[in-house]
Amino acid sequence: MQIKDGNFSTRASEALADASLQKSVSNLKRGFVAARARAVAALPEYEAMREAGAAIKDHTLDNLDFYLERYEREVVRQGGHVHWAADADEACRIVRQICTRAGAKSVVKGKSMVSEEIGLNEALEADGLEVVESDAGEYIVQLAKEAPSHIVMPTVHKTTDDIADLFYKHHRAHGFDERETDPAELIGQVRSILRDKYFAADIGITGANFLVAETGSNIIVTNEGNGDLTSTLARVHIVTAGIEKVVPTLNDAAVLLRLLARSALGMEITSYTTLSTGPRRPGDADGPDEYHVVLIDNGRTKMLAGTFRPMLRCIRCGACMNHCPVYMSVGGHAYGWVYPGPMGAVLTPMIAGHEKASELPHACTLNGRCQQVCPVKIPLPDLLRRLRHDQWEAGFIKSKVRWGIGLWAWLATHPALYRVSTRIGVAVLRLFGKSSGRLTRLPFAGGWTAGRDMPAPQGTTFHAAWAKRNPQR
């Protein structure tokens, strides 16, 4: 998927003014947050499970080369193929080659965030392949030519009416002539259309929630059963996965699965947890003839090598965005790429480059809720602060901001001057706010005072008040 360059603030302003988006987001946020809280409160062991989950991920990342090699060995032993892709282009090229060799015309996809990260659909469509997303949410955003706005609930931004219009426009070709508004009817249309697609598909592409080194399996979790049909009915099953998805054993995966469902949806487990290992075995009545895994780096080794290694613990549950006041105000599209919210604000600059996402690390109040709810304890606020620092060092901060912060820093390191200027500042503000005790307009802060008044300072400066209280100092 193409990254939308720059200008988070413009997209955020548009999102705030979009009444329909605001309604959809606010309808859902209470549900997610409350459900997770209930699931966590029901488990006295939860905190210890979180520690264990983070420890498994850290151990795996510390030995990632070992576990990837072991994983590869097991996949090959089971008759599968493993491909290594250093970046998005290489990954797309590998998948396209597999499709070409298979003489493929049609592709059905289960949900895979990394496939969106590498722009796989566009690459396959450019080769003339029909590509259909099978997860109902992904199907809807694909039909609407939009991007998902949440990594777990891609359609958070769309109302039932939006979807009714969309299906009315596109599904007449499939014999659905009425404009339906009942969610069950709308999903029934998707079920019926996709049923044929699964059977016709040459290639089934899924992501992986986990790759298991012990058995060479990939694990996906779904509630719909779409990824499971995708990986079973197509002639060729291709798994696209980031290199950080590997875990040592099935038991390690079990620990992380407990955290994933609770953090993502507030449930103990999703309807389906499916482990796929190699192609169909001799005598099997179904399953693919070929099984391929594309292991994708695309900036991950860079994170692995430095201070951003904890970000690779991420299991893509979406809890950080569900608890983020910024995400909950502006929705996912404002972030401009595949990964929104706090995890996206770290991943997007790390994968796509600072210059493409310079505003994202600043779209954060550092309130720390994301870290509190993260099932693998990623210190997201620290990483965002670190990104701000790196951006400053690399000169990606706008000159006006640099100049302002530089002036502030200079003033703050000259105490005498600081005291004099704050005293003057307080006096001036008091003078202007004399009549009402409020200031309705401030220079350089018109945006802020447009929506609220600034209270005029009461009394003296902090330094003066402090000195008066503690005369001995």
Q: Which one among 54, 132, 233, 315 touches another protein, defined by CB under 8 A? A: 233
Q: Which one among 112, 115, 121, 274 touches another protein, defined by CB under 8 A? A: 274
Is 144 an interacting residue with respect to another protein (CB under 8 A)? no
Report the residue number, 216 or 336, with the smaller CB distance to another protein: 216
The C-alpha atoms of residue 273 and residue 6 are separated, in whole angstroms, by: 38
Q: Which one among 136, 346, 378, 387 touches another protein, defined by CB under 8 A? A: 136
Q: Kindly indicate which of the ranges 213-221, 323-331, 342-350, 406-414 contains the residues binding another protein, using the contact rule CB under 8 A.
A: 213-221
Is 248 an interacting residue with respect to another protein (CB under 8 A)? yes
Sites for another protein among residues 85-104 (CB under 8 A): 85-86, 90
Is 78 an interacting residue with respect to another protein (CB under 8 A)? yes
Is 140 an interacting residue with respect to another protein (CB under 8 A)? yes
Distance of alpha carbon 48 from the chain centroid: 25
Residue 291 Cβ, how far from another protein at the closest point, in Å? 8
Q: Which one among 234, 239, 243, 330 touches another protein, defined by CB under 8 A? A: 243
Is 275 an interacting residue with respect to another protein (CB under 8 A)? yes
Q: Kindly indicate which of the ranges 12-20, 263-271, 389-397, 446-454 contains the residues binding another protein, using the contact rule CB under 8 A.
A: 263-271
Is 217 an interacting residue with respect to another protein (CB under 8 A)? yes
Is 184 an interacting residue with respect to another protein (CB under 8 A)? yes
Structure-block tokens of residue 434: 């004399």
Is 63 an interacting residue with respect to another protein (CB under 8 A)? yes
Sites for another protein among residues 371-400 (CB under 8 A): none
Is 293 an interacting residue with respect to another protein (CB under 8 A)? no
Is 37 an interacting residue with respect to another protein (CB under 8 A)? no
Is 232 an interacting residue with respect to another protein (CB under 8 A)? yes
Is 52 an interacting residue with respect to another protein (CB under 8 A)? yes
Is 203 an interacting residue with respect to another protein (CB under 8 A)? no
The C-alpha atoms of residue 144 and residue 136 are separated, in whole angstroms, by: 12
Q: Which one among 115, 206, 209, 215 touches another protein, defined by CB under 8 A? A: 215
Angle at 134 between CA 210 and CA 298, to 5 degrees: 45
- Smallest CA-to-CA distance from 227 within 242, 215, 239 is with 239
Q: How far is CA 446 from CA 22, 137, 151, 268, 351, in A?
A: 24, 40, 35, 48, 35
Residue 203 Cβ, how far from another protein at the closest point, in Å? 17
- Smallest CA-to-CA distance from 28 within 187, 162, 161, 153 is with 153
Report the residue number, 78 or 460, with the smaller CB distance to another protein: 78
Residue 177 Cβ, how far from another protein at the closest point, in Å? 19
Distance of alpha carbon 407 from the chain centroid: 36
Q: Which one among 137, 310, 341, 375 touches another protein, defined by CB under 8 A? A: 137
Q: Kindly indicate which of the ranges 68-76, 334-342, 435-443, 450-458 contains the residues binding another protein, using the contact rule CB under 8 A.
A: 68-76
HSE, side-chain direction, 13 A CA sphere, residue 388: 15
